[in-house]
Amino acid sequence: MERKTITDTLQRPLRDLRISVTDRCNFRCTYCMPKEIFGRDYEFLGRDQLLSFEEIERLSRIFVAHGVEKIRLTGGEPLLRRDIEKLVSMLANIEGLQDIAMTTNGSLLIPKAKALKEAGLKRITVSLDSLDDATFMSLNDVDFPASKVLEAIDASADAGLTPVKVDMVVKRGVNDQDIVSMAGHFRNTGHILRFIEFMDVGSTNGWRMDEMVSAAEIVERINAVWPIEPVDPNYYGEVAERYRYIDGAGEIGIIASVTVPFCSACTRSRLTADGQLFTCLFGVRGHDMRSLLRSGASDEEIGAFLSRVWGQRTDRYSEIRSEGTIPLEKVEMSRIGG
C-alpha cells in the first residue's frame, strides 16, 4: 500500500497510534479503575471480542501506510495479554514504523523486559504514583508495593529499554506531598520522571478540578529545591512539557492536558482492545474497525475508512473543557489505553 499523509480538519497529521491490547488490569487504581465500578462481577471483554495479534498487525500496517510512525501498546495492563512479545515482534517488522513503545504498571515486567527488548520494543513507560508504600498501595488498591515497581524499572534499564519514562499521576491530598521526593529519587538516574495532571478521563474516576495539581504548581515545587529550566520539544506533537535540572541531573516532563491543553498539535489515534478507533482520549464515540476486518474488507477499503474518520476529526476536548460544553459520558481510560 502506498504511504500517505492524512490530516484532520485542523490540519493535524496522523502520526501516533496507541493500541490497547486488553481491557483487563491487575491494579484497581482509584483514578482509573475504581473497585466500586470494576469489581469481581465486572464483565470484561471475551477472547473472541479482542483483536487478534494478526488483526492488530494488519491494522497497524494500514495505519503506518497512512502516516503513523509510532505505536504504543497499552491496556488495561498490556503484559496481561499472553505472549505480548510475539505481537511486538510482528509490529517490529512493519516497514516505515519508527518506534514501538509500551506503557505498563510494571507488576509483570521483570521476567518480560529482556524478551520485549529482543522482540523489538524500543521504549517503555512505567507508572509509579508514589515511593511511599502506604500511599502507593492505597492508590493501586491491590497492596502492590512501590519497591517492586522500582525493581521493574531497573530490569527495564538493564534490558536496554532506556531511558525509562516513569509516569506519576498527581492528585491533591493523595500523593502531591511526594512530588519532590519522586523528583529527588529519579535525579541522576537517566530515567525521565513525568508528572501528569489528574484528568477527567472516562466517567467513573470521580474527577474534581480542586483535586488537580497544576503544572505550574509542580514546576514551582521542584524549582524551589532544584532549579529547572524549560527544554524545547523533541518533536511536533510531544505532549510532555520538558524541563531540565540546571545542575545537569537530568530532565523531567509534565503532561498538563487540563491547564495547558495541547490539542492543537495532537497527532494521536487510539484503538481499543475490541477494535474501536477513537480520535481523542476523551472521546464519546468509537469507529468500528473490527467489523470491517471480520467482514472481509480489503486493506484499501479499511484505509479509506481511516482516511474519512481522521479527515473529519475536529477533537479539541481539553481546549473546550473550560467552556462548559463537555460531554458527560466518555470512554473509560482502561478501555482506551491512556
How many CB atoms are located within 10 Å of the residue 115 CB?
Answer: 16
What are the backbone angles phi and psi of residue 74, rounded to the nearest 5°?
-135, -170
pLDDT band at 237 (very low <50, low <70, confident <90, very high): confident
Domain enclosing residue 71, as ranges: 16-336
Does position 28 have pLDDT exceeding 70, yes or no? yes
Rounded to the nearest 10°, the torsion over CA 189, 252, 32, 201 is: -160
Q: What is the mean pLDDT of residues 308-322?
A: 80
pLDDT in tens, 156-169: 999 999 999 999 99
Q: Which of 29-43, 52-66, 283-297 has the highest mean pLDDT?
A: 52-66
pTM of the model: 0.92
Residue 322 within any structural domain of the chain: yes
pLDDT in tens, 122-171: 999 999 999 999 999 999 999 999 999 999 999 999 999 999 999 999 99
Q: Supply the pLDDT for residue 321.
A: 60
Mean pLDDT of the chain: 91
CB 34 within 8 A of CB 206: yes
Residue 7 within any structural domain of the chain: no
pLDDT band at 31 (very low <50, low <70, confident <90, very high): confident
Phi-psi category of 25—alpha, beta or left, where left has phi over 0 and alpha has psi -120 to 50? beta
Residue 37 within any structural domain of the chain: yes
pLDDT band at 318 (very low <50, low <70, confident <90, very high): low
Residue 6 within any structural domain of the chain: no
Q: Supply the pLDDT for residue 326.
A: 53
Does position 44 have pLDDT exceeding 90, yes or no? yes
Q: Supply the pLDDT for residue 198.
A: 87
Q: Supply the pLDDT for residue 22.
A: 97
Comparing 66-80, 88-102, 195-209, 268-282, the range with the smallest average pLDDT is 195-209
What end-to-end distance do the CA atoms of the chain give, in Å?
29
The tally of domains found in the chain comes to: 1
Residue 9 within any structural domain of the chain: no
Residue 106 within any structural domain of the chain: yes
Residue 172 within any structural domain of the chain: yes
What CATH number is associated with residue 133?
Answer: 3.20.20.70
pLDDT band at 239 (very low <50, low <70, confident <90, very high): confident
Residue 3 within any structural domain of the chain: no
Give the residue with greater pLDDT, 21 vs 200.
Answer: 21
